[in-house]
Structure 1
Amino acid sequence: MNELLIYVPKMTNRVRYVFRLVMKGLLKIKYELTNDLDAFQSADQPKMMYGWKAHTDDIFFKANGLLFERGVHSLEYNAFDYKGNKAFFQVFDEESVVPFDIFSAIFFLVSRYEEYLPFVRDQHGRFAASLSMSSEWEILEKPVVNIWALEIKEIILKRYPDFVFPEKKFRFIPTYDIDSAWAFSQKGWLRNIGGFYKSLEMFQFKDVALRARVLLGKERDPFDTYDLQLSYQKKYNLHPIYFILFGMYGRYDKNINFRNGKFRRLVKWIADYAEVGIHPSYNTVNNPKLLKEEIKNLEDLLKTQITRSRQHFLRLNLPDTYQNLIENDIQDDYTMGYAALPGFRAGICDTYNFYDLELDVETKLRLHPFAVMDGTLRDYLQLTPGDAIDRIKKIMDEVKKVKGTFISLWHNESLSDAKRWKGWRRVYEALLEEATA
């Protein structure tokens, strides 16, 4: 019988969520949860226990209590070295097959528990990568949730060698944020005059000449890399997702006015070749009404429902941001990652459902964590193109080991191969080659 019976002493939303994530989501197996000890003991099938004590000699995972609680509290992490990485929520029970509460550790990471605790926000109101336990414990670039899921698989196979686990395959999803569709074109005379003045003030005469050539139609706008993106799509058989900043101009929102005809034609052209989602503007994180308007404006243009989203500047306040997205019928969000460091913000490299710790319920909103972003590598870490390629390959190798999903976040401007992005086109091409090899 290829179904795993799991005994837990108490049924909670957290218990149901984490076992559904691990068993169904990551390991792709059938399972059944029960809190009926007599039925568990008499069952003749593969089985395991999770709880306070081992009632039988079956596989036993010791619990620390987090999955049986409600609310958010300060926690004792008890981090320690385990098989080359840090683990936490250490338990002391010789009958436990692992020396830590592996299911609570998974829940802590994927629910982003630490982001519900008090913290000092960065200049954009975000939870900074440097504050994360994963960064402190140097496991941010390891998809430890996937690694631990595979350890659970091996433990089950050791006891039940005939248990069948479906094979997973590595997946790659390229994504693009269109924050500024063009560098100079379609920005209006006022913004371009300001641009000329700023360049002259800083003695950037080459920029002045380039802007003039673009505006006179004598040269392609440097941010106009859409034909190149389409060529990548065809060459590597990609299925990219675009997130369009479709709001009004502001201090942190520099895209073309969403009413601009050429910009609207560009968005419709992109939608002919790829999936399109909303890139909610900077202030939508505190303005649900504005979020609703931007989604509606994009839907009106494309004549289709918009169900995908990624926050501009990765501004994410838990759980409010996700609650607002859910209220606007967003089904998939791609914000889960850090601006300042690459890696796995939630410790996982597969899609999963958002768990709302405020309401203590699993939601239907699917989260798609990204692993690397061009701006992280170039602007925050200030890597050379060669070092960036090495860093990307190292992280992607970790995803390939666990047969997870590698999601990249790139921008049209970083493919320009000009100015500060000189040499970075080959970084992206190396990423594509490695991901599709």
Structure 2
Amino acid sequence: MLLVYTHNITPRLKYVFKHVCTRILGVEVSFTTKVETFIAHDSLKISYTKQQLGNEFFIKSHDLLFEQGLNDIEIHVQSWWHTKCFFFNGEKSAIPFDIFAASFYLLSRYEEYLPHVKDNYGRFLATESIAFKHSFLHQPVVDIWAFKFKDALQLQFPEFKFPQRNYSVKPIIDVPSPYHFKLKGFMRSFGGSLKDLLKFQLKSLYDRFMVVFGLKHDPYDTFKYIINKQKQSKFKFLFFFLIGDFSTYDKGINPNNKKFVSLIKHVADYCEVGLKTSFFALDDFSILKKEKLKMEDILNTSLKASRQSFSKLNLPESYRNLIELEVLEDYTMGYVNHIGFRAGSCTPFLFYDLDYEIQTPLKIHSYHVIDYVLLKDQSLLDKKKTLSSVLKEVKQVNGEFIPVYHNYTFSEVERWKGFKELFNIILESGNEA
């Protein structure tokens, strides 16, 4: 067990030390404000305060973990070996940066509470983040810092054995609509046919009629393929089905359709299933609650995980609503236009409510790449290079890699050619030594 001496044990301090020491490094941590208790401890121990007590392992603390609410924080990002860090703390500290304050800043999404430019959907942009502006979005810096902290501790406590954690993959399959043509109802099918006709999209019109009359397989119906992949993989896939009402933003299938319900149940026999909330559920608690209860009714069990439509988050309201409904995990945090680590970590973390200054029970699984962002790379070779780069970053710290695919990504549609191979690379990354 690691004992931390500090002048003030705050919720922020306990939260971030537990993430870095326990969740990432696998070491239990406790805290004391008593010097005699600290001196008597005969295992791992550090002091985290303004002044060093003696010759112990000392990290000079930044004020952030002892403050409340939001303040105007001055941040200077500097290079540190092959990465970047901030909150430099001088020569006397055992490591040159207060990695705990810096980690808290990223994990709490402090910057997303400050004034910033949003995109057309009201989302926080990657380009607004400190990580993008200072070119470390591509690295899970919180995990990298944790391992640098571990290395420094190991030098001071050479006899202590740190546990080893293993790299893992959590594939996400997002299903905004399970079918391209099937189960859309007469009016939507008629409207789609008319649209194809007016735009002279004759192949689409032909495919539509062939699928509707059961003469051809629906291109988005890739569930058999994905389930076969699940059977071959040691990593559990997590599906998110949209069951909200049809709207401008959400064009799924009627959740009362028996064939759709049957599909969800079938997938749940092999994979984990969560709720993809509709766009309007984001701002309307009653809609969110209705969708959650509907999914629980389909699954015949309590809902464990959610993912918000369009990867949109309204902090802290989005997460507070999930907490009130006792949803345990969320997979929304990430960027739709950039690969990288929005919260700076590839280790799941608990949501910290900055307004109430409390650690909540909601576990955040931040995703690192979404299929759409790989479309930017022209060739399959470029896509492989991009994917390999982010996989390497996660593997170096034995983290959890989270990719987001859609059911149609596995189709034979031209723009998604090669994406099955990319998915295989992701799954096989866990088999490499």
Same fold flag (TM > 0.5): yes
CA contact (8 A) 1:249 1:255 kept: yes
CA contact (8 A) 2:3 2:32 kept: yes
Partner of residue 166, structure 2: 169
**Kindly tell me: are residues 211 and 382 of structure 1, through their superposed partners in 2, closer, same or farther at Cα, counting changes over 3 Å?**
farther
Which letter maps to 2:185? G
CA contact (8 A) 1:353 1:362 kept: yes
The match for 2:31 among 30, 33, 55 is 33
Structure 1 gap ranges (5+): none
Partner of residue 395, structure 1: 390
Query: 1:101-180 maps to which residues of 2 (within 5 A)?
Result: 101-180=98-177
Which letter maps to 2:118? R
Structure 2: how far apart are the matches of 1:102 and 1:429?
Answer: 35
Deviation string 1:323-360 (CA, Å, 9 cap, x unpaired) is 00000110011112111111111010011111111111
CA contact (8 A) 1:337 1:369 kept: yes
Structure 1: how far apart are the matches of 2:337 and 2:384?
Answer: 17
CA contact (8 A) 2:230 2:271 kept: no
Structure 2: how far apart are the matches of 1:38 and 1:424?
Answer: 59
CA contact (8 A) 1:386 1:427 kept: no
CA contact (8 A) 1:232 1:238 kept: no
CA contact (8 A) 1:168 1:403 kept: yes
Which letter maps to 1:195? G
Partner of residue 58, structure 1: 56
Structure 1: how far apart are the matches of 2:210 and 2:283?
Answer: 40
The match for 1:327 among 308, 324, 327 is 324
CA contact (8 A) 1:396 1:435 kept: no
Matched residue count = 432
CA contact (8 A) 1:393 1:434 kept: no
Give, in angstroms, the shift of residue 376 of structure 1. Answer: 2.0
Structure 2 gap ranges (5+): none
The alignment partner of 1:58 has SS state of coil
The alignment partner of 1:126 has SS state of coil
> Is 1:375 matched with 2:372?
yes
Structure 2: how far apart are the matches of 1:44 and 1:99?
Answer: 25
CA contact (8 A) 1:308 1:331 kept: yes
Query: 1:231-246 maps to which residues of 2 (within 5 A)?
Result: 231-246=228-243
Give, in angstroms, the shift of residue 74 of structure 1. Answer: 1.9
The alignment partner of 1:310 has SS state of strand
CA contact (8 A) 2:178 2:221 kept: yes
Deviation string 1:243-263 (CA, Å, 9 cap, x unpaired) is 111100011101111111111
> Is 1:221 matched with 2:218?
yes
Partner of residue 277, structure 2: 280
Q: Percent identity?
A: 38
Partner of residue 264, structure 1: 261
Partner of residue 67, structure 1: 65
Query: Normalising by the residue count of structure 2, what TM-score does the alignment of the two structures yield?
Result: 0.97
Partner of residue 305, structure 2: 308
Partner of residue 381, structure 2: 386
Deviation string 1:41-66 (CA, Å, 9 cap, x unpaired) is 34443321111111211111111200
Partner of residue 363, structure 2: 366
The match for 1:201 among 194, 198, 202 is 198
CA contact (8 A) 1:288 1:324 kept: yes
Taking only aligned residues, the RMSD between alpha carbons, in angstroms, comes to: 1.3
> Is 1:417 matched with 2:404?
no
The alignment partner of 2:403 has SS state of strand
Which letter maps to 1:396? L
